[in-house]
Amino acid sequence: MITLTSDFGSIYPAAMRGVILRQTDARLVDVTHDLPRGDVRAASFWLRFVLPEFPPAVHLVVVDPGVGTDRRAIVVRAGDHALVGPDNGSLLPPARALSDGEIEAFEIDVADPDSQTFHGRDVFAPYAAAVHEVGVESIDDVATLAPIDDPIDVRLPDPTVSAEGRLIDAEVLVVDRFGNVITNVPGETLGEATRVRIDGERVPVAETFGAVDRGEKLLTVGSHGYVELDVNDGRGDEAFDLAAGDVVRIRIGAE
């Protein structure tokens, strides 16, 4: 099985599918091709969330703002999984989530690709197919892959917690298509709180959207385990006026 992820939208991913299918009859499964353009952090967040749902697979991941520059191209082995893509940090957070800790990285010997603007087609897709064919356990056998010990990592920022755990300075990691504002605050940080103040305004803590009236704000722990700022049947990003990268102060206990 090979999964495909990119920020390419439509059409360009088909070129990668074609290239892979010339090399292998593996099952292809799209993760998404609608990641925010060139946003390595968003890629790493979403892939850390989604890829662990999959059985062992080769994951082709191309969010590549540095395509054609001297950034490296890599394969990462994480347990029974492998990830193939640019060495810009997007691969390591999901790799950690896919393994019990041990991660190995290999640099791809990029000889002379057909283009300097579409390595998804010309470098990464062929390697994803090749790794699938040789098998994740045998990556070391691919002559054009050289072990490296310094793949670039991206660490998602931790929130700042103070006032005995009651004051959290959070950062917005991503906003999803529903407008849900996903922060970097792990759900367990909330404890048993039933209300919070968001930048001063009282907001209920709820298990799900339908627990508040339509159009009402809520704070919930999303399916990824992080605190979200949402609106039932509405857009949290607009209601809270927040976007990816913004900082927001959450005060636990709203008395």
Residues that bind its own copies (CB under 8 A): 1, 3, 8-12, 14-15, 17-19, 21-22, 25, 27-35, 37-38, 46, 49-55, 65-69, 114-118, 121-122, 176-178, 207-211, 220, 222-223, 233
Taking the least distance from each CB to its own copies, the nearer of 15 and 142 is 15
Quote the strand ranges of 27-179, DSSP E: 28-32, 58-62, 73-78, 81-86, 103-108, 145-148, 160-162, 167-175
Q: Output 42 or 105, the one with its CB closest to its own copies.
A: 42
Distance from C-alpha of 79 to C-alpha of 95, rounded to nearest angstrom = 8
Which pairing describes strands 58-62 and 2-6: parallel, antiparallel, or unpaired? parallel
Q: How far is the CB of 38 from its own copies (least distance, A)?
A: 6
Check: CB of residue 231 under 8 Å from CB of residue 215: yes
C-alpha distances in Å from residue 149, one per residue of 41, 153, 217 = 21, 11, 46
CB of 214 to its own copies, least distance (A): 9
Task: Please state the closest distance from residue 180 (CB atom) to its own copies, in A.
Answer: 9
- Min. distance of Cβ 162 from its own copies in angstroms? 28
Distance, in Å, from the CA atom of 40 to the CA atom of 199, rounded to the nearest integer, reads: 28
Nearer to its own copies, 77 or 121 (CB): 121
Q: Which is nearer to its own copies, 143 or 177 (CB)?
A: 177
Nearest distance, CB of residue 153 and its own copies, angstroms: 20
Of 145 and 196, CB closest to its own copies: 196
